């Protein structure tokens, strides 16, 4: 995990013309790449070819690139794309927070990019989880509410909705922000150390759906 003191977090703007997003956490230049937002430099068709040729392995074939246009303090706070007056000092959060990642209301995006850092959250030592809300260009949201299906996902993981901080409009400052390594990344898939965490979630899902399964008729085949 990578810790940033007095971290600045911005709303996310989707820059469709660049096929990238801007905003999010102001990452320092010395931040190792495994903590950043990354995507591969190949498309899905190339991925299938590489997997077929290499017996399912992609690790030697792909290069991971930063998904965000703005990845360091100079770019994020420069006069060309950000004004310092946008940093709302009233939105300074004291304590220690976990960065959950960007949240996009698309179900697939949320499952691949919004939940795989949450393994690091410990309600006994962390004050909350920070999500940056993805928005179309030239829009802003004063408030945002997660869709019901995402609150249900948080419930499965064991995260109270009250512990979630949503960055929707002005920049926010967090006294201590911990950036966990994501357990899964697009194309790369799940990391070996992440499987045990997923197995625990699978058991929890099984327990939470026990009554639903009891009410179903028994299958003959």
Q: Who has greater pLDDT, 181 or 142?
A: 181
Mean pLDDT on 44-52: 48
Q: Who has greater pLDDT, 88 or 97?
A: 97
Q: Who has greater pLDDT, 12 or 181?
A: 181
**Predicted local confidence at residue 134, as pLDDT:** 81
Label residue 10 by pLDDT band (50, 70, 90).
Answer: confident
Domain that holds residue 61: 2-189
Is 212 among the domain residues? no
Is 195 among the domain residues? no
Is 200 among the domain residues? no
Is 88 among the domain residues? yes
Q: Who has greater pLDDT, 185 or 86?
A: 185
Q: How many structural domains is the chain composed of?
A: 1
Q: Where are the alpha helices (DSSP H) in the chain?
A: 44-53, 73-77, 107-113, 148-157, 195-208, 210-214
Is 219 among the domain residues? no
Cα(4)–Cα(174) distance, integer angstroms: 9
**Predicted local confidence at residue 95, as pLDDT:** 95
In angstroms, the first-to-last Cα distance of the chain is: 47
**Predicted local confidence at residue 137, as pLDDT:** 62
Mean pLDDT on 39-58: 51
Identify the top-confidence range among 38-42, 166-170, 175-179. Answer: 175-179
Label residue 130 by pLDDT band (50, 70, 90).
Answer: very high
**Predicted local confidence at residue 220, as pLDDT:** 66
**Predicted local confidence at residue 126, as pLDDT:** 95
- Cα-based distances in Å from 23 to 118, 152, 161, 171, 192: 20, 27, 23, 9, 30
Is 207 among the domain residues? no
């Amino acid at each position: 995990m990578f810790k940033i003191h007095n971290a600045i977090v911005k709303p996310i703007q989707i820059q469709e013309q660049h096929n990238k997003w801007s905003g999010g956490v102001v990452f320092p230049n010395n931040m190792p790449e495994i903590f950043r937002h990354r995507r591969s430099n190949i498309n899905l068709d190339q991925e299938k070819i590489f997997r077929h040729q290499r017996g399912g392995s992609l690790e030697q074939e792909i290069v991971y690139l930063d998904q965000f246009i703005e990845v360091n303090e100079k770019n994020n706070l420069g006069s060309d794309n950000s004004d310092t007056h946008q940093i709302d000092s009233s939105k300074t959060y004291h304590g220690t927070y976990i960065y959950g990642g960007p949240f996009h209301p698309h179900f697939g995006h949320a499952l691949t990019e919004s939940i795989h850092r949450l393994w690091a959250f410990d309600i006994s030592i962390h004050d909350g989880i920070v999500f940056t809300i993805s928005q179309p260009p030239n829009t802003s949201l004063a408030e945002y509410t997660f869709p019901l299906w995402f609150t249900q996902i948080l419930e499965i993981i064991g995260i109270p909705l009250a512990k979630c901080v949503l960055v929707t409009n002005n920049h926010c400052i967090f006294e201590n922000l911990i950036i966990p390594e994501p357990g899964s990344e697009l194309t790369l898939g799940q990391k070996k150390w992440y499987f045990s965490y997923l197995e625990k979630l699978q058991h929890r899902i099984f327990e939470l759906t026990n009554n639903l399964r009891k009410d179903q008729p028994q299958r003959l085949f």
